[in-house]
Amino acid sequence: MKILVFGTKSYDKISFEKELKDYPDLQVNFTETNLTPLTATLAQGYKAVCGFVNSDISAMTLEVLRGLGVELVLMRCAGFDAVNVDFAKSVGMRVTRVPAYSPEAIAEHAMGLALCANRRIHKGYIRVRENDFSLEGLVGVTLHGKTAGILGTGRIGAALCRICKGFGMKVLGSDLYPNQKLVDEEHVVDEYVDYDTLYANSDLISLHAFLNKESYHLIDDESIAKMKDGVILVNSARGALVDSNALIRGIRSGKIGAVGLDVYEEENANVYQDRENQILGSSITARLCSFPNVVMTSHQAFFTHEALGQIARITLDNAEAYANGKDFIERSVVC
């Protein structure tokens, strides 16, 4: 089966080619071009395409792909909000994803963002490089003995719960489907609470929820107002979980003491792109970057050698299963 991997970076190609020796029945080609309605025609002659979080796999893209004979969309990421799943179902196309690749990598990055933003490590690093050894404006808070609120306790959230417990923190969980084992067996969640209780009692809040109609702008002016003064807020899940303008107001008011963002609402135009010679103008991203207590990275929480290898393996496993008429890997099927 022929597969075209869109939006390929050097690290994607390296990780896939390292695994391909174990998949002799798959022919995989790579293109740096991202998958959009205008570029979908590059898939002529392929049975499957592989996209990523910044792909545009809308109904129009799927219609073009289906017309070319493409049957399978392989998402090499956990999220599938880039895909019009309902339309894919209606035209008989299958969509898979990688539901969990090194959740510890993402959890570790989330804690790294929290530490960096809280202790102003990014500011201290820049000062020392310029021979400025002053400590003014760099004071943070000690996390030991504080309360962490983990909103979404799936594999990634659960991994962060374990990390927070290692820091000596009390951990509150909030999830539509609580994992009671984290309380009863692992003892890494002290208790599950509702959102309002989590907001009111947490010194550190980290978001690990899925993005859907109900969770869109989950963090808004109303929820921020319920948080503790000086709260540390981290988002390594999906940008639209947070209302960016409400976040800016919360930072300016002092309600939010530190912010770590690996995802943000404007990221699609920026993610994995080098825009250092461009002026972002009135961009919300530029405004967030102007605050000394905000640390932003470019959707890199997953970015470890281990995670890249797992992404490649699961993606290729799903492709091989489809080619041989076998079942996809459990939990990886979108439609």
Rounded Cα distance between 92 and 63, Å, is 11
Q: Which residues pair with 204 in a beta bridge?
A: 148, 232
Residue 267 appears among annotated catalytic residues: yes
3-state secondary structure (DSSP) of residue 41: helix
Tell me the CA distances in angstroms from 13 to 110, 237, 276, one per residue in order.
26, 25, 25
Domain locations in the chain as residue ranges: 2-101+304-323, 103-296
| Per-residue pLDDT, 282 | 62
Q: pTM for the full model?
A: 0.88
* Pairing assessment for the beta strands 191-192 and 48-51 based on DSSP bridges: unpaired
Query: Can you read off the two tokens belonging to residue 295?
Result: 């640390």
Rounded Cα distance between 153 and 237, Å, is 12
Rounded Cα distance between 119 and 188, Å, is 24
Q: Provide the 10 A C-beta neighbour count for residue 280.
A: 14
Query: Can you read off the two tokens belonging to residue 181?
Result: 């084992």
| Per-residue pLDDT, 99 | 85
| Per-residue pLDDT, 112 | 98
Residue 238 appears among annotated catalytic residues: yes
Tell me the CA distances in angstroms from 232 to 51, 114, 124, 227, one per residue in order.
33, 7, 18, 10
Considering the candidates 97, 120, 208, 238, report the single residue annotated as catalytic.
Answer: 238
Query: 133-145 b/e with 16+ CB inside 10 Å = b?
Result: eeeeeeebeebee
Considering the candidates 120, 208, 299, 313, report the single residue annotated as catalytic.
Answer: 299
One of 3.50.50.60, 3.40.30.10, 3.40.50.720, 3.30.360.10 is the CATH number of 103-296, namely: 3.40.50.720
Residue 108 appears among annotated catalytic residues: no
| Per-residue pLDDT, 278 | 75
| Per-residue pLDDT, 275 | 66
CA max distance for the chain: 64
Q: Provide the 10 A C-beta neighbour count for residue 294.
A: 21
Considering the candidates 19, 76, 109, 267, report the single residue annotated as catalytic.
Answer: 267
Q: What residue type is assigned to position 91 of the chain?
A: V
- How many Cα atoms within 13 Å fall on the side-chain side of residue 148? 33
| CATH architecture assigned to 2-101+304-323 | 3-Layer(aba) Sandwich (3.40)
Average pLDDT of each block of 10 consecutive residues along the chain (335 residues)?
97 96 96 97 98 94 98 92 95 93 94 98 97 97 98 97 98 97 98 98 97 95 98 96 97 98 81 70 82 94 94 96 89 88
Matching CATH topology for 2-101+304-323 and 103-296? Answer: yes
Q: CA 274: distance to chain centroid?
A: 19
